[in-house]
Structures are given as C-alpha cells and as structure tokens.
Amino acid sequence: MLLPDDDIEEVSECIKALGAWCSGFMVGFGTGAKNLKDDQITAELQEILKDLMEIGEVEDSEYKEEEDENDFYELIEFVRTSSMLIFTELALQREDQKEAQESSNSGPTVH
C-alpha cells in the first residue's frame, strides 16, 4: 500500500490517506468484480469488504493523535492482509472455475 511515510507528524494525515486507499480499492474491486454474484463471495469476504468500505468513509476529526497511533498501525495490517485475502480467495475461485470448465469441455469431440 502506498501511504505517507511513518515519520509524518500527524496521524490524521495517515488516516485520511488510508481512507482514500480503501475507497480506491473498493472502486477497483467493484469495477473488476462486476460479473460476480453475491453467492460467489463468501460471508467472510463480504464482511471484510464492508469493513474496508467503512474505513474508506473515515473522517479524521474523530481521532486524537497519540491515542490512535497504535490503533492506526493495527488497522494498516488489517487492510493489508484483508486485501491480500480477497485477491487470493477470488483468484483461487477463478482457477477452480477454469479447471471445472476445462474438465467439462475435455470430453470426446466428434468432427
């Protein structure tokens, strides 16, 4: 993830950047997954997507600098691992669908 450097003094700037990253991720996911149906996305992934959407709507005025710095770094790790999980799960699902399609098409061909 591209976020401001760790040495930035205001955590609120980092929080806004993380929110913008999550918003961008959701736009990209929505664009790339437009052919997915709800039943093709597991409940776990739906919950993660909901969380990412809520993070994307964050308002920096809610946070106090020193108190939230540790929480912010935990949130970064959640977003990082969640985005990788989404990618992995959907890539595996796509691979399974491709294999199923290939096996159903591999029957004898009559010309």
Angstrom CA distances, 95 to 23, 42, 101, stand at 27, 16, 10
90 in a structural domain: yes
What b-and-e string marks burial along 76-97, b requiring 16 or more CB atoms within 10 Å of the CB? Answer: eeebeebbeebeeebeeeeeee
Q: What count of residues does the chain have?
A: 111
d(CA 52, CA 9): 25
The domain total for the chain is 1
Supply the pLDDT for residue 94.
Answer: 80
- State residue 106's pLDDT score: 62
- Does some domain include residue 66? yes
Domain assignment present for residue 34? The answer is yes
Give the pLDDT confidence of 49-93 residue by residue, as tens digits.
999 999 999 876 566 666 667 888 899 999 999 999 999 998 888
Q: Of 8 and 100, which is predicted with more confidence? A: 100
Q: Greater confidence, 14 or 51?
A: 51
Domain, as residue range, for 54: 11-99
Residue 38 lies in a domain: yes
In a domain, 39, yes or no: yes
Q: Is residue 110 in some structural domain?
A: no
| Position 107 in a domain | no
pLDDT in tens, 17-36: 899 999 999 999 988 888 88
